[in-house]
Amino acid sequence: MSMGGNRWQDWIGRKGEVIESEFSVSEASIAYFSEFSENGRPDYFGSDPIAPPTMLMTATRGSAWRPGQEVAVPYYFALDVPLDAPHSINLSIEFEFGKPLRPGDRVSRQSTIADIVPKTLRLGDGFIVVEHIDYWNQNGERLGRLTNSLFRYTKKEAVRA
């Protein structure tokens, strides 16, 4: 399996760019996120709320559309790895949480390719790409880490009976 001229091993440990949130976290964004997920935990509402931990993913998501702008930066750096594998499917997402996200926080994230493993699954030949996404606030305090594993692959030819 090739990577379009690049050795896949060269990508292990590579870091993506630091992505800073467009907006500060607000009481309203916490309330809307909690409403959307139907999460009525009391500390997500009121005068000094904390955000549900999984809000980290949306806190740094760029706008999907803005007048006169291109589409937002893709969320997963693992999709930038130049593999000869045009299809992808997510295998797992795991979160580790640090300091709670609060109104006023400006969230930044950076991805690191943690591992790339050649693999053949029923879907086809490809690579399992493991990515760590680290999150921190404007004070450099760790908010969490997301570990994402996805399978980038070339489809197997269908077997006709």
CATH (domain of 145):
3.10.129.10
pTM for the model stands at 0.85
Backbone angles phi, psi at 43, to 5 degrees: -80, 0
Q: Is residue 40, in this structure, part of any structural domain at all?
A: yes
Instruction: Give the pLDDT confidence score for residue 69 in this predicted structure.
Output: 74
Domain span at residue 48 reads: 8-155
Q: Is residue 37, in this structure, part of any structural domain at all?
A: yes
Instruction: Give the pLDDT confidence score for residue 161 in this predicted structure.
Output: 58
User: What sign for the dihedral angle of Cα 142, 57, 50, 37?
Assistant: negative
Q: Is residue 117, in this structure, part of any structural domain at all?
A: yes
Q: Is residue 112, in this structure, part of any structural domain at all?
A: yes
- DSSP for 94-125, please give it: EEEE-SPP-TT---EEEEEEEEEEEEEETTEE
Q: Is residue 3, in this structure, part of any structural domain at all?
A: no
Instruction: Give the pLDDT confidence score for residue 3 in this predicted structure.
Output: 44
Task: Report the distance separating Cα 136 and Cα 128, nearest Å.
Answer: 26
Residues of the chain below pLDDT 70: 1-6, 71-74, 158-161
DSSP helix/strand/coil, 80: helix
Q: Is residue 59, in this structure, part of any structural domain at all?
A: yes
Task: Report the distance separating Cα 71 and Cα 63, nearest Å.
Answer: 8
Instruction: Give the pLDDT confidence score for residue 72 in this predicted structure.
Output: 60
Domain count, the chain: 1
Dmax over CA atoms of the chain, in Å, equals 65
Q: Is residue 160, in this structure, part of any structural domain at all?
A: no
Q: Is residue 161, in this structure, part of any structural domain at all?
A: no
Cα 121 to Cα 30, 38, 41: the distances in Å are 40, 36, 40
Give strand ranges (E) for the chain.
19-20, 87-97, 108-121, 124-136, 142-155
